[in-house]
A = this chain, B = another copy of it.
């Protein structure tokens, strides 16, 4: 267990409670970061789950589906304890016996970690356009969220929405602006692709660096993408889509393009010949590539070869490919059916 994973796990101290009143039943998967092994005292751990549950007066049944090689063992332990594959819980906190585990990697500063906190998250549900206005080109904001989920290996469900459904009270309760995507995970509901991607990045390994300063910089790049780079790019699109037939469209175009250029040139300068914006690929790159992709159909990006190559590197990632294919499959199915 790395310091990063330890950090992530301890965050769930705050969650410290099991929902006791949710009528829904969901399947879920437990994990402690990528490639983490369950502690050797796994039977004990499962027993602790059960006792935590009764302490919280939650009478649900739990399946532990740990990742990787632990899968088989955890399932058999689950069965041994009489737990089933459906559960009402979103997160559990599990305390193994004092002094465990012995792995020195979890004692980064020479102390023994006393408790292992295990986050068990339900499969999240996101929303997406039933029929995306971009005709499956991956520019709708659900693609970013799909991409983040694919990067961290988190399975997800999708609920498709028509345009009228997006403005109905049920959806406005999730997103006051009546847009997609939204993100539901147990009793948590989020909107805003930035907020969703950051939530995913914070609760899974793979999208934020372990170093606390590098982590803060990666998050700053997320804000830079959404707050400094995307707005002029959206204006560029709006000028065409929403104002293309206006009498001022032609005369105003150079001004709109200049604002985009005023972001792309400094961004290109900063990127230089690096592969990603700050060290390894992060949620900051995921968001910046997503934002720049909006320019691809226009050919505008071709004036910035470093950024074109950067976007191409993002698109080449297997997780992006899966996310793109998933959203395209939705559009194709709707178009066919």
Residue A270 lies at the interface, judged by CB distance under 8 Å to chain B: yes
| Known A110-B95, A222-B195: A6·B15 in contact at CB below 8 Å | no
Contact status of A227 and B228, CB under 8 A, knowing A14-B7, A212-B11, A251-B247 = no
**Which A residues between 190 and 233 are near B, CB-CB below 8 angstroms?**
190-196, 198-199, 210-213, 215-217, 219-224, 226-228, 230-231
A69→B246 CA distance, assembly (Å): 66
- Kindly identify, within residues 246 to 286 of chain A, every residue whose CB is under 8 Å from any CB belonging to chain B: 246-248, 251-252, 255, 263, 266-267, 269-270
Proximity string of chain A (59-98) to chain B, C-beta cutoff 8 Å, 1 when within and 0 when not: 0000000000000000000000000000000010101001
- For chain A, which range describes its interface: under 10, 10 to 19, 20 to 34, or 35 or more residues? 35 or more
| Contact residues of A between 230 and 244, Cβ < 8 Å to B | 230-231, 234-235, 242-243
B216 near A195 with CB under 8 A, answer yes
Q: In whole Å, how far is A282's beta carbon from the nearest beta carbon of chain B?
A: 13
Q: Is the CB of A7 within 8 A of B15?
A: no
Q: Is A163 an interface residue (CB 8 A)?
A: no
| Chain B residue at smallest Cβ distance from A188 | B213
Q: Which residues of B contact A215 (CB under 8 A)?
A: 14
The answer to the question of A10 belonging to the interface, with a C-beta cut-off of 8 Å to chain B, is: yes
Could you tell me the distance between the alpha carbons of A16 and B108 in the complex, rounded to whole angstroms? 8
Residues of chain B contacted by A199 (CB below 8 angstroms): 216, 219-220
Complex interface: chain B residues within 8 A of A177 (CB): 224, 228, 263, 266-267
With contact pairs A3-B13, A194-B227, A222-B195 given, residues A113 and B110 touching in the complex (Cβ less than 8 Å): no
Q: Which of chain B's residues have a CB closer than 8 A to the CB of A217?
A: 188-190, 195
A254 CB, nearest partner CB in chain B, Å: 12
3 smallest beta-carbon distances between A and B, as pairs: A195-B220, A248-B248, A194-B223
